[in-house]
Amino acid sequence: MKVLVIGGAGYIGSHAVYELIRDNHEVVVMDNLSTGDETFIPKGVKFYFGDITKREDLSKIFETECAIKPFDVVMHFAAKLIVPESMSKPLEYYHNNVEGVRLMLEVMTEHNIKNVVFSSTAAVYGNPVKTLCEEDDITIPVNPYGASKLASENMIKWVCNAYKMNYCIFRYFNVAGADKSLEIGLKKDNLTHLIPITVQTALGIRDKMIVFGDDYDTVDGTCVRDYIHVSDLAHAHVLGAKYILNNNESVLLNLGSNEGYSVKQIIDEVSKYAKVNYEVGPRREGDPASLIASNTKAKEILGWIPQNGLSDIIKSDMEYRKKISNE
């Protein structure tokens, strides 16, 4: 396959690029490097610096590349994704996340490119109605980030219907870990994800961490979530792209692990390496007690089976954080 990866210099997009290359596909990356890192793009991969909200940037790539060989698939990772920021800057989120997708689809239709793989999120479900989240559960996002992703999902569905295209929409839950090469990983200044924060605390990069509430109706009172290794997630994108291309049909799938762990269970697992100092603080608004993705559909349709369990994910994040702290 020849694949355009938009947002391929970011955390998840770069892991998709690595998995595509390992599976011998031709990859072209587009990224505006707003949160991405150019060093995450492997040598030999063609990189276009460009912004998906600028039509001329997209047209240039499609005109140049499709004259050589049309893309079989376009993968979209190019979003803004910080929930509190989306609450204060909703227009920026709609512009980047929704207008960016609209322009991408417009340019794809002009060049007769038929297959799109899109990164969506558990945030489209809003406050979940049940613990094990399934794809046909009701979607009522509770922040502009989730709303912008749901608007994009719907636009993709309508456009694919009208232009006889195929989509693979993935809704991710909690993603962590790093590629086995340790060349790429989650490298951000203001980390918000539980596993990297816990690992940073164990490594002494943070003095302590806060556990937001321990009076939920869960196994030990702390919130329960499911976790997925970023390389397993990236591998699903290769399978999803092949599936829509070969079967000429669309799919919408959760990507998660089907298994929940509490915040304290994560801390216990990380504590096997080093002590984790934490304090229990008040609950955070909008945190459901328990949220776990059902991944039955992804397993059935794509034959996707996550290879890494919780201890692998934590070990991988720990190795990556140790490596970058020495750089």
Catalytic positions are 145
State how far the alpha carbon of 122 is from the alpha carbons of 69, 132, 221, 255, 309, in Å: 35, 12, 22, 9, 20
Binding mask 150-189 for ligand NAD (x = CB under 6 A): ----------------------x--x--------------
Question: Is the CB of residue 292 less than 8 Å from the CB of residue 227?
Answer: no
The span from the CA of 296 to the CA of 15, in Å, is: 23
Interaction of residue 234 with ligand NAD, rule CB under 6 A: no
Q: Exposed (0-12), middle (13-18) or buried (19+): which is 190, by Cβ within 10 Å?
A: exposed
Assign 126 to helix, strand or coil. Answer: strand
Q: Which of 41, 65, 72, 100 binds ligand NAD (CB under 6 A)?
A: 100
Q: Whose Cβ is closer to ligand NAD: residue 36's or residue 240's?
A: 36
Name the minimum Å distance from CB 275 to ligand NAD. Answer: 26
CA–CA separation, 58 vs 107, rounded Å? 7
Whether residue 176 contacts residue 225, with contact meaning beta carbons closer than 8 Å, is answered with: no
Residue nearer to ligand NAD on the CB measure, 64 or 277: 64
Residues 241-260 that bind ligand NAD (CB under 6 A): none
β strands within 1-92, DSSP E: 2-6, 26-31, 46-49, 73-76
Q: How far is the CB of 188 from ligand NAD (least distance, A)?
A: 7
Q: How many CB atoms lie within 10 A of CB 177?
A: 27
d(CA 289, CA 266): 15
- 148 vs 250, beta carbon nearer ligand NAD: 148
96 binds ligand NAD per the rule CB under 6 A: yes
- Segment contacting ligand NAD by CB under 6 A, of 50-58, 129-137, 156-164, 242-250: 50-58
Q: How many residues bind ligand NAD (CB under 6 A)?
A: 25
Binding string, 10-49, against ligand NAD, x = CB under 6 A? Answer: xxxx-----------------xxxxxx-------------
The beta strands (E) that lie in 77-131 are given as: 115-121
Backbone angles phi, psi at 163, to 5 degrees: -105, 15
Interaction between residue 88 and ligand NAD (CB under 6 A): no
As a whole number of angstroms, the distance between CA 258 and CA 296 comes to 8
Binding of residue 9 to ligand NAD (CB under 6 A) = yes
* 121 lines the binding site for ligand NAD (CB under 6 A): yes
Q: Alpha-carbon distance 168 to 156, whole Å?
A: 10
Using the rule CB under 6 A, which residue among 3, 4, 5, 7 binds ligand NAD?
7
Q: Which parts of this chain interact with ligand NAD (CB under 6 A)?
A: 7, 9-13, 31-36, 51-53, 77-79, 81, 96, 100, 119, 121, 172, 175
